[in-house]
Structures are given as structure tokens and as C-alpha cells.
Amino acid sequence: MSTLSEESLSPLILQWLEWDQDPTTRAEIENLRDSNSVEELGQRLQQRIQFGTAGLRGRMAAGFSCMNSLTVIQASQGLAKYIRNYHSDVASNGVVIGHDARHNSGKFASLAANAFIAQRIPVWFYGQPAITPTVPFGVTHLHAAAGIMITASHNGAQINTPMDAEIAQSIEENLAPWPDAWKDTQASEYFRTDAYQRILPRYKEAVWQYAKSTVSEWKPPRPFIYTPLHGVGGLVFPELCRSVGINNIITVAEQAEPNPDFPTVTFPNPEETGSLDLTMKTADKEGITLIVAHDPDADRLAVAEKVDGSWFTYSGNHIGVLIASHLFESLDNGSRTAVLGSTVSTGMLEKMAVAKGIHFEEALTGFKWMANIAQNLEGEGYKVPFAFEEALGYMLPDVCYDKDGVTAAMVFLAAEAKWRAQGLTAFAKLQSLFSEFGHHETLNTYFRSPSPELTMTLFRGIRGGSFKATKSLGKFSILRWRDMTEGYDSGTADNKPTLPVDKGSQMLTLWLDRDVRFTFRASGTEPKVKIYIESCCASREQAVSAVCDTFQAVLEEWVRPFAPSMTYSKQLVTSSGHISTLQ
């Protein structure tokens, strides 16, 4: 029986209606109140949306627990006060604020700007839909104190602990909207509306100069089909291509313009099965065998290629090692160089780096880690040309400290033209890398968890008893355990991980025989427990077998005993497209 009542919620409802001046979200709360939707009101109002190292993230709806005009204002006021109070030396450099073309993005960006203007912190405002990489690029170029991007992703050389807690505290101290919080922003000394017109040309020039620097002679790529998946990439990338002589780009007409309803795709994520179906249909109609795609804010890159009559969609790991191999060939062998990969990305990058005498460093998932590590390494005298994670994210720090789908696409096209001159397709180049470093097969999937409590039960069960002494999992011998929650690593001299421990997350990595490594972690944003498996074997068939056997072992020995109600896909699709059906 519910312990909530309309009476207990009444102060929260009154507080919301006192502060919120957005008619849409006010009406949502009023309608829920009038219909006595006590449970829904409790979910909306009793908890606050949390500000963390990735900023603010949640579903768009009315209520303190969601993304909406009021919670954006509150977070912006807290951040503005934090900068003014703790970083006053750089406050006058201003903040860069951008937004994509999703619903409410422009409105949220304008409301965020008011908070900084109120603190006399200049705002470099992107007044039109922008691609995400231009915000971190703008922060660096303008020496700004901070950057804010209104989008569905979380990006960049973001804040790390303890700064996130300090900003969260500042938000709590500045919840009531300030006098001008809801006003329409006007151009002024503190509101600079021409920022995007200034930054975008410089960004595009930086992208072009960097891509060109990776080859001895620039050649245009073969014809390709491009899709921005109804996002902002279509406002920038085709024009950039044509400005540098790449005229054989055809954009998918139905997806060329930004549309926040994404009418032609079920889910606007190039990682999702089916997201490139219309692009492939267009390519087949045009007789073109290469596809380049961006996600809707253009910070991620996807590539597909026709191979032996069928479409092969490259995984993020494939694209990552292809770009890395291209960059390695252009490096000055005399320089100290370092590259980065995330804990759940392919181990192939490290093997390639070691073979070239390049320093490799592992980072936790997310570009907040990789961007900050890259800057620290540069402070130690390293050149850091590249970092990537398997979720189609690639960072080229010469352009910006963030995942950047536009720069990655231009570099990939430069590489494709170089390989073609050598008689190779991108797919053939990938196979040659497998021949040199072993066939790396990955299987990334997830279990859907009904509740956070069940997720915790699962991880407690795995850790139960003498798990650190466990020597086998299914058909495999366990060579090494790493627990990033408990701070344990059997592979280090002091049994402590070299990466930052996070007791608020759940993450295990195991190294097995047959050159298998897998990470099992609870998602911080979705009701999922994700698993990332990789095997390196002499042949594709052996590697496919190893990753499928690993998943089966995790299912039988971890999930079914400790969380039998968790659901999972009955079909496993590996990175080479192999499909295995589970019983």
C-alpha cells in the first residue's frame, strides 16, 4: 500500500508551481494534481535530478526528477555561482553554450545563459543548432571557463570528482530561480550571439588541416553515401566535404535535415540494428559501396561497406583500430607518443601501440576520463593523437578534447583514399591488421534488469564467498580478476587497480585463457547490466566460438543462479556479424 498522499505531496506541488513559469510543465503538474496521480507525482517531485561528472541527464518531463526548464535553470545557477565563487580568475573568459536540434534544446540553452549573465559571466552563445564537437573546440579556442552542450549525449573533458559534488552542492544552494531567470535573452555585453559564426569556420579549418596532415598527398575518397540521421551533422559535414573538393558525397535525402521526431528510424543511434537500413537502400539504388553516418549530434561516427555483395557494418572497435593504424603510419618516430582506449574497448589498440613503441594507457569508460588523461599526458611531454571507445566514439585532440564524429570521418576518408591507392578497401585493411595482430572478435550485449535491487543482488552473488579465489568460469580458467567497485585487482603487485575506484558503480573485468577478456558492469543510465567480451585467436571461427562460450558461461554461472528474472537477447551477434542462438 502506498505511503504517499496528496497531503504529503502538497508542499512539493506548491513549490513547483511557485518556481516554474513554463506553461507546458506547469500544466503537467497541475493535471497530475487534479487527477490525483499520487504515485506519478511522487516519482516526479520527491527526488531531484542528480548532477554528476557527466552533467545533467534524464527524461524530459515536468518535475524535480526530470529534465525541464526549471531544473536546467537550477543547474545553471549552481554552476554559475560555483564558477564565480571558486574560479573567479577565469570567470571573465566566459562560458560556451551550444545546443543541437532536439526538442527544447534551444530553449534550455537560452535559459542556461541567463544564469551566467546574472553573475556577469560572458556567454559565448551558439544561436543555431550546433554539432557537439564545436563546444569543446570553442572552449579551447576562446580559453573559456566552461562549456555547456544541450544534447542527448554526455561528452568531453568533463568535470571529475570532487568538483561534481561541489557543483551539486552549489545547485542545492541556488534552487529558487533568480529575478531574470525566465526572461528572453537579448544581445548585450555578457551575451555574445555571434559565437557560432566565429567558431564554426575555425573548427572546419582545423578539421581539414588535421585530416590533410595525416597523409603525404591528399586524395579524395571513393563515392559514399552520408546520413546525419536527422541530426545536425547534415548542417556541417556535406558542406565541409565539398569545400575541400570531396564532391562525390550523396546525402540520404529523407534524413538530411534536422528533425527532432526522427521519423525514418526507430531509434536514432547508429549502433542500433536497422538504423542504417534507409542509408543502405539509398546506396544500393545509387550503386555505391561505402556509407558514412553520424549520430544526431555528430559526435559519433559509423561506417558500413559492401563486402562480397553484403553490407558489413564496422564496429566501433574496427573503426578505432583502422584510424589508429592510419595515424601510426603518419607519426614522427622520434616523438613521445601515447594513445588511449577505454576499459571496454578492444585490446588490439594496445598491441598495435606496443609494436610501434607507442605508450598505451587504459581509461575508464567515457571521454571525461580520456580527455583529462590526454591533457595530463601532454603535460608530461607526450603527443596524444588519438583515443577511442567501442561505442563509436573517437577523439583527435589536435582538434578538440572530445569525441568528434566529424574529424573522425574526415580522417577515415583520408585513410580510405590512401588504402585505395594501395589496392585495399577498408575491409581488406582490417583483415591485414587481424593477420598481423590476431583476429579480435567482440560480443557486446546486455541483460535487462527489472530493478536496481536485482542488479545489486546479482553482483553480491558473484562476489559471494571466496570469489577472489575462484579459478574457473565455464570452460575457461580465470587468469585475473579486477573489481572496480571493491578496489581489487589480482594482476597488480598490491592487488589494487591502477584506475580510479568507484564504489557507487558495479564493474568487474576478468581475463580468461583462450585470450579472452570481458567486462560486466551495471549501466549508470539504463536498467541494464552490460557485458563486453573480446577474444583474440588465430582465426575468426576460433574467436567467435570463444566469445559465445564466454557469454554462455556468464549466463549459466552468474545470471541464472543470482538473477534468473533478468532478460536477454536469445540471439548473439558478434562484431563480424556471426549469429549464435541461445537455448
Is 153 assigned a catalytic role? yes
Q: Which of 153, 170, 342, 576 is flagged as catalytic?
A: 153
Nearest-angstrom CA–CA distance, 324 and 347: 13
How distant, in Å, are the alpha carbons of 207, 253, 394, 402 from that of 398?
9, 32, 12, 11
CB 546 within 8 A of CB 475: no
Task: Give kind and range of the element (H or E) at residue 550.
Answer: helix 540-554
CB 555 within 8 A of CB 568: yes
Beta-sheet strands, E only, within 70-221: 95-99, 123-125, 146-150, 191-192
Three cell numbers, residue 553: 558461461
CA atoms within 13 A on the CB side of 15: 14
CB 536 within 8 A of CB 440: yes
Name, in order, each residue with C-beta under 8 angstroms of 186's C-beta and a sequence gap of 6 or more.
none
CB 533 within 8 A of CB 518: yes
Closest CA relative to residue 419, chosen from 409, 408, 430: 430
CB 383 within 8 A of CB 336: yes
Across 323-341, b (16+ Cβ under 10 Å) vs e yields bbbbbbeebeeeeebbbbb
Closest CA relative to residue 236, chosen from 74, 410, 413, 396: 410
Q: DSSP letter at 254?
A: G
Three cell numbers, residue 502: 568507484
Closest CA relative to residue 181, chosen from 63, 64, 73: 73
H, E, C per residue of 24-53: HHHHHHHHHHHCCCHHHHHHHHCCCCCEEC
Nearest-angstrom CA–CA distance, 4 and 193: 46
- What 3-state DSSP class applies to 439? strand
Enumerate the active-site residues: 153
